[in-house]
Structure 1
Amino acid sequence: MDRANARKYSYHFEWLGRPVIQYPQDMIALQEIIWAVQPDLIFETGIAHGGSLIFSASMLELNAACGGPPNAEVLGLDIDIRAHNREEIEKHPMFKRITMIEGSSIDDRVAARVHEFAGNMKRVLVILDSNHTHAHVMRELELYSSLVKAGSYLIVFDTVIEDMPEDAFPDRPWGKGDNPKTAVWEFLRANDRFEIDREIQDKLLLTVAPDGFLKCLKD
């Protein structure tokens, strides 16, 4: 993992023409989850170049072609959607399934818009991948975990930060002891609706989300 991080491995790939800042192994795991869950909505915090939104939309397109929800959507949220990224996302063929909101994921007014968008959708999959500090991720978990119902997933990326060397992120506000994994641990201590999916974790030998694939056990 140290070697992969040093070479910026997660920045090496694209999905349908857009940079996707993920490990291929995690994308395959996410594909398996999307197929199993058959969500009506995938909600993601963190957009960057849009590759992850395009990936999710294309998975929903495949689900629909195989008899899944025909009108399933992707909702992406980012505090700063750069104009050139927005332009590329909006002209992509998969944009027909995508809606984007610009704003902070921990702003109560923005969260209210997300909940309104989700409305009465039966099966929502939530992916958190924005600011990686403990406090930020903890607040996202508090605001959006209620969207996820039994059988679906709440996925928290970049929990691997806790397992990296102390000096791995000198220019970032997160690091060992203050990151998505510490937020997940705190969240799970007080919430019995979710558990870490150990089956997924055990087969992912290389992942940026150890302890980050959370399965919802009950509504």
Structure 2
Amino acid sequence: MEELAREAGITVRTLRFYRERKLIPPPRREGRIAWYDEDHLARLRTIAALLERGHTLSGIAELAEAFDHGRDVGELLGLGAPTEETPVRLSPEELADVFGEEATPENLSAALDLGYLGTDGGEIVHVSRRLLDTSAALVREGIPLADVLAAARRVRDHADALAELFTDLVLAQGSRTTDDLRRLRPLAKSVVDAEVSMALDRKLGKLTGTVGPEGQAPHHAARTRRSTHEAP
């Protein structure tokens, strides 16, 4: 304990206090000897960094508990299942830097529950670089992280339904296999991307008054009617 406290730049009394608050995991014991390792030192340095950023010990304790009881990265990634997403490894203080004041224990617990975050030893793993960057960009635009995560849960439900639809479409042909599904997945992504893009066009058009009640631009609808009347 004295060696760990010295390496972390804190007093033994402070270290005991952190242990009592369960801010660090218990040591490995061999008889009466308690062994601490690099994970304990990393946790202490993280606590110091979060305190410097204005987090309270209560909040840090909640955050530590959330990560200690969260799923590990193997569970999140399906124990080695193929994925096109690139996981990102972060320390807790790096994650706090990404989201600033929005990196609350409640929000990070929600991200753990959603499956965006997992743990791998002393590191935090976000399952997708694209999702991390998008979430951070929305937060920088002033959208609360809690709202982003709530929306993400709804998107997850729709995405699961779309994946089910495409799987049924491909595998309904008796000769198709999961290898075909894997090979054809870029087609599903293209359809979804195009449909979302057009849906946003329609939504923007309605909000700005440039799209009629049936989803067509007024000038386009008029052109269509003229063409129909002029046809022989």
Common fold: TM-score over 0.5? no
**Structure with the greater alpha carbon radius of gyration:** 2
More helix by share: 2
RCO higher in structure (CA 8 A, sep ≥6): 1
More strand by share: 1
TM-score for both structures, normalised by structure 2: 0.23
